[in-house]
Amino acid sequence: MRGFHSRTSVEDALAWIDANVYSLDSEVVGLADAHGRVLAAGITSPIDVPAFDRSAMDGFALKSGETVGAGDYNPLSFRIVGVSMPGQPFEGEVGNGEAARIMTGAPIPYGVDAVVPAEYATVRDDCVEITTAVASLKHVGRSAEDVSKGTTVLEKGHRLRPQDVGLIASLGMPEISVVRQPRVRIVVTGNELAEPGSERRPYQIFEANSHIVAGLVPRDGGVLFERLRCQDDRDSIQCAVTASGADVVLISGGSSVGTEDHAPSIVREAGELPIHGVAMRPSSPAGIGRIGSTLIFLLPGNPVSCLCAYDFFAGRAIRRLAGLAPDWPHRTLTGTLNSKIVSQVGRVDYCRVRINNGRVEPVALSGASILSSTTRANGFVIVPSALEGYAVGTEVEVRHYS
């Protein structure tokens, strides 16, 4: 066993990710599979939406110029000549002194330019009496008022929300080109770990890290396709790490320099491990490398360290692969410290905190194995390497756990 001779700065580790990780290639998917995906190309409308003038109200379509003077004490009468329904337009032309009954969304008939809402109309036999005047185009949705043909409605790199997918559907497009989702494999190592639901032997602990990471991968645009469990055995870890099919491999545990920490040497021998040991607390044994085109992240076994290393490094890389903005995805708030945070120049600190009514209270400054600190906290504060910490009363930025 030996210690780390030196540690890479967080800034240099992030710079390596940004210089070596790019969006994956594209694939075509149907709209049912498009939610949350990132566009590989902009969406240009092939049609006008709507493709025709349509009614915005239930009522009667007529010539606006003929409604002048209509009121409660001066109802004007028009002969009803037909009905326009959604998908079933009135095929004739509405002439002078005439009106067509119309429903919301139905095409505006030829010869008219306005709609009188039903609440201002009274039907008497084959005529309708109206008690309000309407201006030209009143209650008329114009052709292409939503989207014009040839308009770019969504830009490349946009992550699709439900309303975006709905807009694409309204253009009649059944499938689109999106960035391929990074395929992520989690490799869990450690003889001391028991699976939740199984019998736990003396001195074992239940494995939690893979369940933390599995919830973060989809947030960052990846897809978890495999979870492998390994004992502290070099051959089994090597098979799990070097197996094909993954864009990213996340190794939980065995990331340091102990006699049973096999992962670092496996990655070095099969590929490269340019970063091993980072100047941060917690997560100092974290590592970043690759085997062929597959990115490898060494996530320390202590749960808080695992969460921290994922959020700082692996999450950023997965977002880049998925075509998303690489920056932190957390919602941020500012607040004032109730207690000081002590750090060390040259090291980045990840401090769990609670923020309430603008007041920020540190929950834990150390204790990388105390997972409950992340549930008692509702966010975290990052202390940059240039500072020795933050004094009481300092205004700090809190990143909320999502």
- The domain at 54-141 falls in which architecture? Beta Complex (2.170)
Percentage of the chain modeled with pLDDT above 90 = 84
Share of the chain above pLDDT 70, in %: 97
Domain ranges of the chain: 10-24+181-321, 26-45+155-179, 54-141, 332-400
332-400: CATH topology is Beta-clip (2.40.340)
Q: Do the strands 359-364 and 332-337 form a parallel or antiparallel pair, or are they unpaired? A: parallel
Architecture of domain 10-24+181-321: 3-Layer(aba) Sandwich (3.40)
Instruction: Give 80 or 375, the one with higher predicted confidence.
Output: 80
* Conformational region of residue 105, where left means phi above 0, alpha means psi within -120 to 50, and beta covers everything else: left
Contact 226, 294 (CB under 8 A): no
Asked whether the CA dihedral 365, 370, 376, 380 is positive or negative, the reply is positive
pLDDT of residue 372: 82
Q: The domain 26-45+155-179 belongs to what CATH superfamily?
A: Molybdopterin biosynthesis moea protein, domain 2 (3.90.105.10)
Is the per-residue pLDDT at 266 higher than 50? yes
pLDDT tens column, 234-248:
899 999 999 999 999
What share of residues in the chain are helix, strand, coil (percent, to 5)? 20, 35, 45
pLDDT digits (tens, 9 = 90+) for 308-336: 999 999 999 999 999 999 999 999 999 99
CA dihedral 248, 252, 258, 264 (to 10 degrees): 0
Per residue in 76-107, pLDDT (tens digit) is 999 999 999 999 999 999 999 999 999 999 99
CA 171 to each of CA 104, 166, 178: distance values in angstroms, whole numbers, following the listed order? 20, 9, 17
- What does DSSP assign to residue 207? -
For residues 279 and 60, what is the distance between their CA atoms, to the nearest angstrom? 73
Question: Are the folds of 54-141 and 332-400 the same?
Answer: no
